[in-house]
Copies of this chain bind each other. A is one copy, B any other.
């Protein structure tokens, strides 16, 4: 008989970049999950993203940020929406190009993440922000 559990995780970012929170998610899931299940993470903001990425080499995260900074320049001349700063509209575009939500199956009580997969919050604003991620867990 399927059951549901929910919580919210708060992440304080320190400006633009990727912040891994796999351990925090895994700890909560292992408290509540047995057997088969489904975890859904939802970011309650439009200027940051959720991302599954490689967690073995920190250079991957730096290269990712370099790519997005070049693809979506912080150049106010390109945008109409500039009142919240030169990094705000780029943040919305980066969010559109990545994900606001992730669902990860649970098997044998654990997330089916691959060996090198980590769960990241990608902060797109240059200043630090307090970000809230809603978690929903379906369990057996």
Chain A positions near chain B (C-beta within 8 angstroms):
1-6, 36-38, 40, 42, 44-47, 51-54, 57, 59-60, 62-64, 66-67, 71-72, 78-81, 83, 89, 92-93, 95-107, 112-114, 116-117, 132, 134-136, 138, 140
**Complex contact A45–B98 (CB within 8 A):** no
**Complex contact B97–A99 (CB within 8 A):** no
In angstroms, Cα B37 to Cα A4, docked, is: 7
Q: Could you name 8 residue pairs across A and B whose Cβ atoms are closer than 8 Å?
A: A4-B138, A42-B103, A42-B112, A52-B95, A54-B92, A64-B96, A67-B72, A71-B71
In angstroms, Cα B113 to Cα A78, docked, is: 28
In angstroms, Cα B6 to Cα A43, docked, is: 24
